[in-house]
């Protein structure tokens, strides 16, 4: 079914057809190759096809919505908490070392298709690079990539900071996390 031509149903599928993307497999590759960057509304995955960029949340949320339009029930959207560190995200090594933080528990979205997990965050993203660093994995819906994801992430971090007896306040740690996200966007 992933190689089947898109049916002319749904605004996202129609937009992909306009962009000469004809199957779900082609959509995965197309979205994966779009630049990483926040859209003007981080909770609206449809903007990926207008702004031609996206984050893990918007890109994966978009593909889940396309799967729903096309009736692909084997595509699931997951939110995972993982240890974002210099090994699985080398661009962050300098920021993490500067703050003497070995890793940051990061909220990240991925897709599960049948029994395989995929990451379309950017052209070089690969689920295999961080699968051993996953702390928690929950299935979500595209509507949950905005405030739900942020609230879930912040609640998780607050608990983690308390349990690990960190010297950082939540606010200070969130700033380090934002510095990491900015480094990823460069």
Would the pLDDT of 115 be above 80? yes
Q: Work out the mean pLDDT of the chain and round it to a whole number.
A: 94
By the 10 Å C-beta count (0-12 exposed, 13-18 middle, 19+ buried), 36 is classed as middle
| Whole-number percent of the chain with pLDDT over 70 | 99
**CA distances for 4 relative to 71, 110, 112, angstroms:** 11, 22, 18
Q: How confident is the model at residue 38 (pLDDT cuts 50, 70, 90)?
A: confident
pLDDT, position 138 = 97
pLDDT, position 1 = 67
In this predicted model, what pLDDT tens digit does every residue of 61-79 receive, in sequence order? 999 999 999 999 999 999 9
Q: Domain of residue 173: give its range.
A: 1-186
pLDDT, position 5 = 84
Q: Calculate the dihedral angle through the C-alpha atoms of 128, 130, 134, 137, rounding to the nearest 10 degrees.
A: -60
Give the DSSP letter string of 61-101.
HHHHHHHHHTT-TTEEEEEEEEEE-TTT-GGGHHHHHHTT-
Would the pLDDT of 37 be above 90? no
What mean pLDDT do residues 83-92 have? Answer: 93
- If one compares 184 and 156, the residue with the highest pLDDT of the two is 156
pLDDT, position 182 = 86
Q: How many domains does the chain have?
A: 1
| Whole-number percent of the chain with pLDDT over 90 | 87
In this predicted model, what pLDDT tens digit does every residue of 4-35 receive, in sequence order? 788 778 999 999 999 999 999 999 999 999 99
């Amino acid at each position: 079914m992933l190689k089947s031509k898109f049916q002319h149903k749904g605004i996202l599928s129609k937009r992909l057809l306009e962009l000469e993307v004809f199957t779900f497999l082609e959509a995965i590759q197309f979205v994966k190759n779009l630049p990483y960057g926040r859209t003007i509304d981080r909770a609206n995955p449809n903007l990926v096809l207008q702004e031609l960029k996206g984050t893990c949340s918007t890109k994966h949320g978009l593909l889940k919505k396309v799967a729903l339009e096309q009736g692909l029930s084997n595509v699931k959207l997951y939110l995972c908490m993982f240890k974002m560190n210099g090994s699985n995200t080398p661009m962050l090594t300098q920021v993490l070392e500067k703050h003497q933080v070995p890793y940051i528990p990061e909220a990240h979205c991925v897709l599960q298709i049948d029994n395989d997990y995929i990451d379309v965050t950017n052209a070089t993203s690969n689920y295999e690079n961080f699968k051993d660093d996953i702390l928690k994995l929950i299935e979500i819906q595209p509507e949950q990539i905005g405030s739900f994801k942020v609230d879930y992430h912040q609640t998780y971090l607050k608990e983690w900071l308390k349990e690990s007896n960190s010297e950082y306040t939540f606010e200070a740690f969130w700033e380090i996390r934002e510095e990491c996200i900015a480094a990823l966007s460069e």
